[in-house]
Structure 1
Amino acid sequence: MYAKCVMSVFSECVVAHPFAAQQLCSLSPPTKSSSSGTWTTILSRRACLFTAVVSAANLALPSPVLAVVSYIDDFEDEEERVVHLFEEVTRSVVCIKDVEVSSPGSSTMIPPNDEGISIEGTGSGFVWDKFGHIVTNYHVVAKLAKDTAGKQQSQVSLLYPNGDVMIKVARLVGIDAAHDLAVLKIDAPGDVLRPLTLGSSKKLKVGQNCFAIGNPYGYEHTLTTGVISGLGREIPSPAGSSIAGAIQTDAAINAGNSGGPLLDSFGRIIGINTATFTLQGSGMSSGVNFAIPIDLVLKLVPHLIVEGSVSSP
């Protein structure tokens, strides 16, 4: 679509400006096998060259050309910004596996070759600090919290700077079922632990862009995008009470996304993805998804780390 639009307005201009047309047509066109991304890149380069040629010839560019050139540049800038956001944040997001081990004695270490373990679910979380604290949803680690036989594990996977995956067994530090929050702790080298940049949920606006990174259905480090669809929502908690002030978003959140970060356009966390309404009988997301606001999380997590629980909301 962009290619046709650009070529159309370029055609109008080159008829009026033969010198510019000669310069523009001296470029080799893309081959038939070129992807749409290649078309956009080539056209963007042509647009820049065409602008320079016409400017040097002291000719006036018609406004349609200026509008299309600006639109393509903005489109490419937006795409690059989202790619950069994902690359910067990925190492701060972890995959959490809910595992049952066959022997209570192995509950603090990963059994060799995954022998005698059963993976019962996956979730997400993020690095809170350089001490190895991981924040997630309570319902992601509920089985570990209720385990009395020593057979439950939460295995946390995170990335080394070179992209390799490190897996650690996490220790449960604190829980708050009423707000669906939990804190785990892992022993990991400092160069692996990259705390997520904290934002604020106070001044969020409906329509603002947002991004979710997590592990839906076990597919690690998946990015979904959307907007903030509503604010001040009330959602149920695992304790049977309600969580006030939740953020509603249409960024896709599915099983495995729980506990992962909801980010603003600068890669700062504004909420913890926690719930979604599903289409009845289908198990599919309806597009109505919720996140716990980060301002609430900031009040509660220090208590969970120090005291193991929260005495008041």
Structure 2
Amino acid sequence: MVFCRTCVSADHASSSRLLRQPRVCSRRSICRAVGRQHQLTAVQAHLADCTLPSRRSCLQTLLPSLGLLLNSQVSLPAWAGLVDEDNADSVFQSAYPSVVSIVNSRRQGNADVEEGTGSGLVWDNHGHIVTNYHCIAQLAKDKFGTQETRVGLAGRADGRDGQDWPATIVGTDPNHDLAVLRIEAPAEALKPVQLGTSNDLKVGQSLYAIGFPYGLSRTLTAGVVSGLNRDIPNPAGTKTRGAIQTDAAISQGNSGGPLLDSAARVVGINTATFTRQGTGRSSGVNFAIPMDLVYQIVPQLMRGS
């Protein structure tokens, strides 16, 4: 397993346009899913995995099993997941205006060459932006004035984004992979995030991540708390303790974006994922810096510490 930071380089952004081959679903996987009384959405997901030549056989296996499932007595809580769709939309609509893009570029001759993208969040209406240190490390280390980082504010959820602003560094903390930037945007253009706590998170609790994977516009992924109090490497070469583990997809470009609870409150800052060595594919083991730790660090960084 390889530990990967999740800011994306320009090369990754272009390669993300390649499509993976669809998987062929097996009768065994469908029967197992139905036997466990998965929600209808899970059954639909299996159908989506089928290639066209195999869908007929999938349906032949699935329809009798569905009949058995629908004729059985299923209590209401078993279908409670059907309301998740509305909740996910509510979380996204509430939070996306507070999520910003981080775009790094380098001056080369008369042109600006994009070097990578990440995500961040609006901390307050004074222009403070919180992100991962590794997303802006090149700017922090720039000695020749050739690096620039711009912050893209929200426009509309359909990807038509608002204005972007040049950012300056207020403070950085490589030991916890956090950084605070500032932009000179008017207060009315800024929507600060709803801040939550990571102190009362429980394994199995629903979580949502919003960010800019592979340079795409704002993207929502969903999952659960997979584990708590994990130790993960940081850019300083030490360990950040107490990280949140989640299976909500955190891809390259998601770094610095918010991890949200079902009330659209930020409970963590997305920072890293494990990938299968040699494939670049996520293993579903992703990590976020817990919000209660962020609360301790960000005020110090805002003071320039």
Q: How high is the TM-score relative to the length of structure 1?
A: 0.71
Query: How far 1:102 sits from its partner (Å)?
Result: 2.8
Look up the SS of the partner of 1:159 in the other structure. Answer: coil
Structure 1 runs (4+) deviating above 2 angstroms are 63-72, 74-78, 160-164
Superposed CA deviations along residues 271-310 of structure 1, whole A, max 9, x for unmatched, are 000011111011111111110000000011011011x23x
Corresponding residue for 1:88? 94
Distance 1:65 1:238 in 2: 53
Shift of 1:175: 0.2
Q: Any gaps of 5 or more consecutive residues in structure 1?
A: 1-35, 37-62, 104-114
Q: Summarize the Cα distance change of 1:143–1:70 in structure 2 as closer, same or farther, 3 Å threshold.
A: closer
Displacement of 1:67 after TM fit? 5.6
Please tell me the residue identity of whatever aligns with 1:123: G
Distance 1:276 1:164 in 2: 27
Asked if 1:139 is matched to 2:145, the reply is: no
- How far apart are the structure 2 equivalents of 1:70 and 1:178? 43
Q: Which residue of 2 aligns with 1:282?
A: 279
Unaligned runs of 5+ in 2: 1-43, 45-69
- The root-mean-square deviation of aligned C-alpha atoms, in Å, is 2.4
Question: 2:171 is matched with which residue: 163, 174, 177?
Answer: 174
Question: Matched residues in 2 for 1:153 and 1:188: separation?
Answer: 17
Mark the structure with the bigger radius of gyration: 1
**Aligned position for 2:47:** none
1:187 aligned residue:
184
Q: Deviations over 1:233-255 (max 9, x none)?
A: 00011001110000001111111
Partner of residue 83, structure 2: 77
Opposite residue 249 of structure 2, the aligned amino acid is A
Q: Which structure is richer in relative contact order (CA contacts within 8 A, separation 6 or more)?
A: 2
Q: Which runs of structure 2 are paired with 1:58-73 in the superposition (5 Å)?
A: none
Map 1:89-168 → 2, pairs under 5 A: 89-102=95-108, 116-160=111-155, 164-168=161-165
The reply on whether 1:269 has 2:266 as its aligned counterpart is: yes
SS of equivalent to 1:178: coil
1:304 correspondence with 2:301: yes
Corresponding pairs, count: 237
Give 1:70 deviation, angstroms: 8.3
Aligned in 2, Cα 1:75/1:285: closer, same or farther, shift over 3 Å?
A: closer
State whether residues 152 and 161 of structure 2, in contact with CA within 8 Å, keep that contact through their aligned partners in structure 1.
Answer: no
- What residue identity is the alignment partner of 1:117? D
Shift, 1:78, TM fit:
2.3
Contact 2:231 2:240 in 1 (8 A): yes
Q: Kindly state the Cα deviation for residue 160 of structure 1 after the two structures are TM-superposed.
A: 3.7
Contact 2:156–2:162 under 8 Å retained in 1? no
Q: 1-side partners of 2:301 and 2:203: how far apart?
A: 31
**297-306 or 78-87: bigger deviation:** 78-87
1:216 aligns with 2:222: no
Structure 2 residue aligned with 1:254, among 246, 251, 254? 251
